[in-house]
Structure 1
């Protein structure tokens, strides 16, 4: 029987951390939660002491059972409250440090600051929609600000975007640059977002960290020589480096529930610590020294793979187990996991809101608690060895599914079979690949031979992923967000109870079966009925439709029986859903404001449906990828500059920007002014502050009823432009959890100051605006009402 005494403290500590880090966003001081937890702990401690004084140990009493229950209950409550108080105090202290940071003053005053940033993780390449220049892709770097305006400060978590052509960026690297600063919500792991301006100075990390980058790069280069998907997967299996994994393979791994194989987890850490412990044992050293060697090897491995949430969780759990071994009290896996969770939440309370951390903990808990029972159930219908092998991925999948539903509201139906097929190959590829990585600096020929061996299981995993992802009906839609997670957890619990508890009464089992079938029918009914209900309530006289296509823009206009589309968003499937939902078949005018993928990546959804397209200056291959299929399908494409005019039904449109000669990019966005009998509007694309100011100086810009806010609500805005426009409604095309802090607090305050009501696709979903001559009626997937009114 596993030791579950620390389970309740770990779960409540997680909840306390989750609430504490978000408390300031709700206007509640984090210290209030911490104080409440400490106060409750003191009360429980006093009750426990009073009970011991009233009924001392050893004195006969008729109430001995009551006393025993009270003693045990107060002990559990005290452990829970102490854990909650610790994490809440850690969160409140960290939030105070954010507020006291000089970066907070820089963000509040909208000024730049000179920042020294120390990287705490390996840089991540940003996908195409966020890279505004394909020749110079962007890297997302995370770290701590250790210096601001030439003075040392207590490190606070920050995130920044830098050019990917910069070499030498790794764990421990220091970057020094002038930056614009934006404060992020308290619930975000990073306190501030930095936008570097000008040159970025790079300082190499200390020697004890410098070795890891060279080894990672050399390993990636050697694996690249293997070729194919197998060569791309070997670094991922061995050290979690997925930089070589292409988009097609990445999608296939996710669709088949195999992406966890390229995330460093407890299995990788267990291999390293066990190997180091065994090697030290072969030298006949004392147990304490063996533990020290194993911990040192683990620390080096974490530095090599970079301290992601799952790696830190696995490493902390391994250290807990090793310390227990060192003191001669080896603990159970569940106890070690719970203690690791509490320790990590005290160190960094924002882990409570990290999906990677949650998946890592759930997968480990599933293996510790469910793998055995699930294997016993499967053994009823198959040989025990096969049941044991299948029970491992099934247990992990069941435990992780509520979290996975929060990320993607759907169930991968072939996930378990795919994991069963890949399971024998994964440890081989991991161990042999890791050995090859470690041997590379000293025995390169032998190391490459290991990589060649690891290529075989890696290729098999890639083959399984592609095969499973291409099977029909591979994904079952499910309810999104919290209700979907709770429902799948309830279904899982009921199914496990029915499978494991065979001695219950037939009536009770029949009731449980009825509840399970009812729970499974809920998403079917909701998902089937919701579109019909939505279609029935959708207004038929809408004027402007802002599509919810994630982080990007796609806005339909309708006037006099004709339709225009301004930008296509990043995803053809998302745009196709919106187009079908609106019942639009032909598009009379397509406006591609500029060539970034978050504005033009969804063009495939409208190829063959567009009569005329207007666009700004061409941008080589990027513009060709958009134009070629459209022109090939019969669309007439016209490059426009400021002054071009045209009509759309009863409306008239005019191009306000760009001026002739402006180079392609955000500041060459086509800005369209639309004048209809019912409203006027301006659509700003991704125009930045400098270009907005130049457009304003050029004249011809006046008050409007509607503005499509520039660049998803970034801070790069001209206050004066919005003061001149004084729109009643501002549309913001923005994705939920976009990671860029869009829309910024500065932009939202600017809209409020100018009397502009914001309509955000991340909160409202697809939104339809109907102009009635006095303002706009708003219908959206999540809200409805009137927005704005003409003075």
Structure 2
């Protein structure tokens, strides 16, 4: 049997892993289905378990069978029984946890944006994010235990994500606090919080965490203090790798590790757990712990490590998978690997069903599966072609390749590209992970003795950490580091099919390549021709200046900075549509995302713009999004924007009238608005960041969703300058009728671009607005008719193409 196909060996028992995979899908469904759907899903699981049990004990077997066929039938029905049992268990647990979380008045209060008082346990450190008007806000996750609404107090168990001010900066993990907040609903019922809250005032600390937790928190604080003086990226990367504290990782390092597929290294991961378990096992040997007690010794040590890192979902995931994998190695070696992975998935989904919707959980499980099924046979096959002294190199190469191969489809969902440098980057970084982790743990243990005692292990951890950071920075800047790939589920499915075909046909392809050496090159040319855009067929000219992306009923614009760099002005309502436009333009780095205001049709695509790209900053309006919001005002998406930015590690700042923006010698901007809050009309529309941009010889006026009230102030700014005419106007508010004719007459744009959705319900663009634009001699281009609108040329010679 070929070593490359050893993964398919019947020595692997796949039943529990199959049941866990089906149960995982069932949990995803149960998180989104209404109560009746969850009951039906659990009923289907019970029926499958009952049918499997009945047939497994011999019910219904009337035909005569041989011993072998009877064993095969029995095994099949045992598998059905196992799948039904796992599905039933997971769906029931998920339903119960959903009921527990949604019980009480918090969901109803969030629906009506009520103000409540709660007692809650803090579940995360306060994470600073930029707020409106230059304020610093803090993002804190809490588990509410009591809620008081209209004088009625109820016991609850509801997780809430809180946006708070500086009074929360000193709050610690696992403190019990009392505070007031205004609630709103999250985006989806599948979110792992039941509400978003805006805290009012300072929290009152009711109780400190227990002695063990306080001791662990002191160790974390000591590590942060000791590592604060480490050089460069080591100051943030060492505590991230050792205890999962990513607060000091720079946005540049975070983006580069994401681009090179190394994000698993800037947090506590399965590999860290394995190294810690190995170290604890070595300590057990050094202490001469008896063999029968070594596994409990290691597990106790692992439990303490998890407490040190805090038992958050990502840490629990790494800890449980590491523990079960280690026990599997003790019990029956590699054969128990699939069953151990299946058990890990089931245990984690029982503890936290919302992990089923986590990309991190999917990547962790897939990477572990890749190591179980493919790393060893691939390493063995490679070792046969290497000198004996380089046998370890074979495993070092096989491990990252196996992990990357099976994780590829999920990574495509995150960044809509296939990393070319992920395998070599991880391969080079792999030898430095263990020294950084173990030296970091030694730093934690020695830090309570003083900084002098911890200096040596801290700097020993810094050296490999700096190498890991250097690898991430270097590979992220390699030209062609990633290939564009279709986004969304279809792109992931395409890569999954190609990966499966490659795995199954690997031995046959290798044998044919030996006989026909030119075949791989020909196949590579064909694949590249299919997935890489052909420049001659691309409607985007090389020297394009501005593109209004076809994002539906919304705004999403891109200013070209060259070499795959850009400025993005609004991101539309759809992440996939915005990501697709940036892919078509070849944008891999965004210097600034300008979000003109916080309406969904301008900001909900932000996650798509960030997907797989390095983003330096986000710029927003300083006007308080909640200010003046009445019943007719569309809800602000400011909390969601700040949550997405915080998760991606992208800083946010605000701008106002008179601020200058410089991205390149020939690409500069001036902020014309806002200078104040306008209460008339839509507060948020009239708060739109309005830009006078000069890019590659063209002058563009970007107006967001301005209405007449703010148009008047912008016109005054332009007239004060004495040069109000523009080459390109991005027409405000999708061409609505609420335009100021005097502003359009003063601007007299050669080209007007309207970003608008096909057959929208608003009647955009208004016929009166189209007539107004044409009356000043402006050529009008619309995304609903032409798709992407692509502007190039120079002043007086503006050229426009459309994508369809």
- 1:49 aligns with 57
Query: 1:322-341, aligned counterparts within 5 Å?
Result: 332-341=336-345
Shift of 1:135: 4.8
Q: Measured at CA, do residues 637 and 394 of structure 1 come closer, stay the same or move farther in structure 2, by a change above 3 Å?
A: closer
Q: Measured at CA, do residues 44 and 782 of structure 1 come closer, stay the same or move farther in structure 2, by a change above 3 Å?
A: farther
Deviations 1:300-344 (A, max 9, x none): 211222234342123223444576799999972332121010111
Contact 1:344 1:351 survives alignment (8 Å): yes
1:17 aligns with 2:24: no
Separation of aligned partners in 1, 2:279 and 2:90: 34
Contact 2:400 2:427 survives alignment (8 Å): yes
Separation of aligned partners in 1, 2:657 and 2:93: 53
Comparing 6-15 and 115-124, the one that deviates more: 115-124
Matched residue SS, 2:233: helix
Contact 2:674 2:687 survives alignment (8 Å): no
Comparing 432-441 and 46-55, the one that deviates more: 46-55
1:500 aligns with 2:503: no
- 1:540 aligns with none
- 2:802 aligns with none
Deviations 1:58-112 (A, max 9, x none): xxx5543432222111001111111111111111212222342221231244322
- 2:376 aligns with 372
TM-score by length of 1: 0.68
Match of 1:440 among 444, 447, 459: 447
Q: Measured at CA, do residues 87 and 504 of structure 1 come closer, stay the same or move farther in structure 2, by a change above 3 Å?
A: farther
Match of 1:279 among 273, 283, 288: 283
Shift of 1:479: 1.1
Separation of aligned partners in 1, 2:196 and 2:145: 14
- 1:461 aligns with 468
Comparing 630-639 and 329-338, the one that deviates more: 630-639
Contact 1:9 1:84 survives alignment (8 Å): yes
Q: Measured at CA, do residues 292 and 617 of structure 1 come closer, stay the same or move farther in structure 2, by a change above 3 Å?
A: closer
1:173 aligns with 2:175: yes
1:268 aligns with 2:272: yes
- 1:306 aligns with 310
- 2:741 aligns with none
Separation of aligned partners in 2, 1:87 and 1:328: 27
Contact 1:681 1:707 survives alignment (8 Å): yes
Separation of aligned partners in 2, 1:289 and 1:566: 59
Deviations 1:231-257 (A, max 9, x none): 332222222222211112222222222
Match of 1:8 among 7, 11, 18: 18
Q: Measured at CA, do residues 226 and 77 of structure 1 come closer, stay the same or move farther in structure 2, by a change above 3 Å?
A: same
- 2:662 aligns with 629
Alignment gaps of 5+ in structure 1: 56-60, 536-543, 557-564, 582-589, 602-613, 643-655, 660-664, 673-679, 688-705, 710-724, 728-758, 784-791
Comparing 73-82 and 515-524, the one that deviates more: 515-524
1:657 aligns with 2:678: yes
Contact 2:409 2:495 survives alignment (8 Å): yes
Separation of aligned partners in 2, 1:480 and 1:134: 35
Q: Measured at CA, do residues 322 and 683 of structure 1 come closer, stay the same or move farther in structure 2, by a change above 3 Å?
A: same
1:250 aligns with 2:249: no
- 2:352 aligns with 348
Shift of 1:577: 6.1
Match of 2:365 among 361, 368, 378: 361
- 1:606 aligns with none
Matched residue SS, 1:226: coil
Q: Measured at CA, do residues 110 and 623 of structure 1 come closer, stay the same or move farther in structure 2, by a change above 3 Å?
A: closer
Query: 1:600-619, aligned counterparts within 5 Å?
Result: none
Matched residue SS, 2:662: helix
1:779 aligns with 2:784: yes
1:144 aligns with 2:118: no
Matched residue SS, 1:156: strand
Contact 1:345 1:351 survives alignment (8 Å): yes
Q: Which has the higher contact order (CA 8 A, sep 6+)?
A: 2
RMSD: 5.1
Matched residue SS, 1:629: strand
- 1:489 aligns with 496
1:79 aligns with 2:82: yes
Separation of aligned partners in 2, 1:118 and 1:782: 49
Alignment gaps of 5+ in structure 2: 1-10, 542-546, 559-566, 586-593, 607-619, 625-651, 691-702, 711-730, 739-754, 771-780, 789-804
Matched residue SS, 1:101: coil
- 1:234 aligns with 238
Match of 1:473 among 449, 460, 480: 480
Separation of aligned partners in 2, 1:69 and 1:375: 33
Q: Measured at CA, do residues 410 and 179 of structure 1 come closer, stay the same or move farther in structure 2, by a change above 3 Å?
A: same
Shift of 1:779: 2.6
Q: Measured at CA, do residues 670 and 579 of structure 1 come closer, stay the same or move farther in structure 2, by a change above 3 Å?
A: farther
